[in-house]
Amino acid sequence: MAMTIHVDIVSAEGAIHSGLATMVYATAELGEVGIAPRHTAFISRLKPGDVRVENEQGDQEHFYVSGGMLEVQPHLVTVLADTAIRARDLDEAAALDAKRRAEDALAGQTAEFEYAKAQAELAEAIAQLRAIEKLRKMKGG
Amino acid sequence: MAGAKEIRTKIASIKSTQKITSAMEMVAASKMRKAQDRMAASRPYSEKMLQVISHLARATPEYRHSFMAAERERKRVGYIVVSSDRGLCGGLNSNLFRRLVGDIKEQRAAGAEAAFCTIGSKALGFFKRFGGNVLAQVSHLGDKPHIEDLIGPVKVMLDAFEAKEIDAIYVAGNEFVNTMTQRPVIRQLVPIVGEEQSEMPYHWDYIYEPDARTVLDALLTRYIESLVYQAVVENGACEQAARMVAMKSASDNAGNLIDELQLVYNKARQAAITQEISEIVSGAAAV
């Protein structure tokens, strides 16, 4: 029987693949790597590209990842895949966007948080909920 | 007797409301199941990441990323507030905000100001009404939130942390206990807590490409993003569960109301008939 290594491909939004493989290929930061079973511990960033998993029958499965991390231990390969394309300036743009949205939404607002008002309104909402609860109990009982 | 017809139209309108609320209940129930699956699916990623991060932290003790550094004095703290986009979900959001207001008060008593990042339009609306320093916001993530949408707001907070504008970041959202119970929780995100510093049983280390710091930095950012994503997904499941319960009780209440109105309607009808008969009888007697 051929030697195998366990492969997990997970992303933040869910598991993508899990199973045994005889060989795993991925596009690491400094070039393509091939991981065979009993590979030494290794960790690298991944570039957008293909992750190929070769199983015991010799079939290859392809997974596209848009980046992420590759972690290798002698019996385990983990691909922590990104679901989004990441780049410094893209992230920067997303951050600016989030800031701008906040500013737009809150234009003309004071930065001072008003506890008294907030607490009063919350107390009212909770009181309403409690009253509804009571009414329901009275009707039920 | 005052309008048997009026009562009849009232009953009809409550019936149509009941139809809507019971439809919403069923929709929420099916969405809740999917949201729960999503919640479970996001766990392996961050668990795996935490493993790698704690290993890296132990393997390279000379490098401390600022996210993992010791607590510094708190002058300003950041909250990432995760709320729902829509209402009609019972006390879900107001319970969370109440918990948050209490926490902000405590922080202020300890001498720390608060800054916010809101996720979901209910949180934004809340801070719109009551003020507050909102640094970033994102809303309308839909039923299937994507991590892409969270990268921006999280980065704003992390950048503020690195620039020492805020000294700690918390995430506030609802925790899914079960269908009936959702609990508002506030967890500390940065500096990262709960990572034990046990000695490694024997020394081994990764081969790094390109080097340990780059890898650790990339991992930490993703780890924090995945925690925020988890909070968002969990809050989504809470929202659906809360809506399901709220809509169920609304349908039940509508049912009770219809029963009561039906009784009033029957009485009114009876009274009208009785009156008519007595009028006919007295009319016949007069002849």
Return the pLDDT at A111: 64
**Inter-chain residue contact A126 with B48, CB threshold 8 Å:** no
Q: Which residue has the tokens 């009707």?
A: A139
Return the pLDDT at B242: 95
pLDDT band at A29 (very low <50, low <70, confident <90, very high): confident
Contact B103, B138 (CB under 8 A): no
Taking 70 as the pLDDT cut, the residues of chain B under it are 1-2, 60-61, 194-202
Q: Which residue has the tokens 């997974």?
A: A63
List Cβ neighbours of B126 (8 Å cut-off, separation of 6 or more): A118, B83, B93, B97, B118
pLDDT band at A128 (very low <50, low <70, confident <90, very high): confident
Tell me how far CA of residue B15 lies from CA of B88, B244, B266, in angstroms. Answer: 19, 19, 17
Radius of gyration for chain B, computed over Cα atoms and rounded to the nearest angstrom: 28
Alpha carbon of B264: minimum distance to chain A alpha carbons (Å)? 17
pLDDT band at A13 (very low <50, low <70, confident <90, very high): confident
Tens-place pLDDT, residues B246-281: 999 999 999 999 999 999 999 999 999 999 999 999
Return the pLDDT at A58: 87
Question: Cα B245–B247–B253 angle (5° rounding)?
Answer: 105
Query: CB burial class (10 A; 0-12, 13-18, 19+) of residue A38?
Result: exposed
- Comparing A11-20, A25-34, A114-123, B141-150, the range with the smallest average pLDDT is A114-123
B117 is catalytic: no
Interchain CB contact of A50 with B (< 8 Å): no
Tokens encoding B84: 């729902």
Reported ipTM: the value is 0.79
Contact B200, A21 (CB under 8 A): no
- Pick the catalytic residue: B24, B32, B89, B92? B89
Return the pLDDT at B81: 95
- Looking only at the bridges linking them, the beta strands covering A5-11 and A76-81 are parallel
Tens-place pLDDT, residues B30-49: 999 999 999 998 888 888 88
Chosen from B119, B209, B222, B227 to mutate, greatest number of chain A CBs within 10 A: B209
Return the pLDDT at B73: 86
Tens-place pLDDT, residues A95-124: 888 888 888 887 766 666 777 777 778 888
Average pLDDT over residues A77-89: 81
Return the pLDDT at A99: 86
**Inter-chain residue contact A12 with B229, CB threshold 8 Å:** yes
Rounded to the nearest integer, the mean pLDDT of chain A is: 84
- Comparing A58-62, A130-134, B96-100, B120-124, the range with the smallest average pLDDT is A130-134
The distance of Cα B133 from the centroid of its chain, to the nearest Å, equals 20
Return the pLDDT at B215: 85
**Inter-chain residue contact B41 with A14, CB threshold 8 Å:** yes
Interchain CB contact of A87 with B (< 8 Å): no
List Cβ neighbours of B108 (8 Å cut-off, separation of 6 or more): B114
**Inter-chain residue contact A109 with B146, CB threshold 8 Å:** no
Return the pLDDT at B200: 58
Element containing residue B87 per DSSP (H, E): none
Tally Cβ neighbours within 10 Å of residue B195.
13
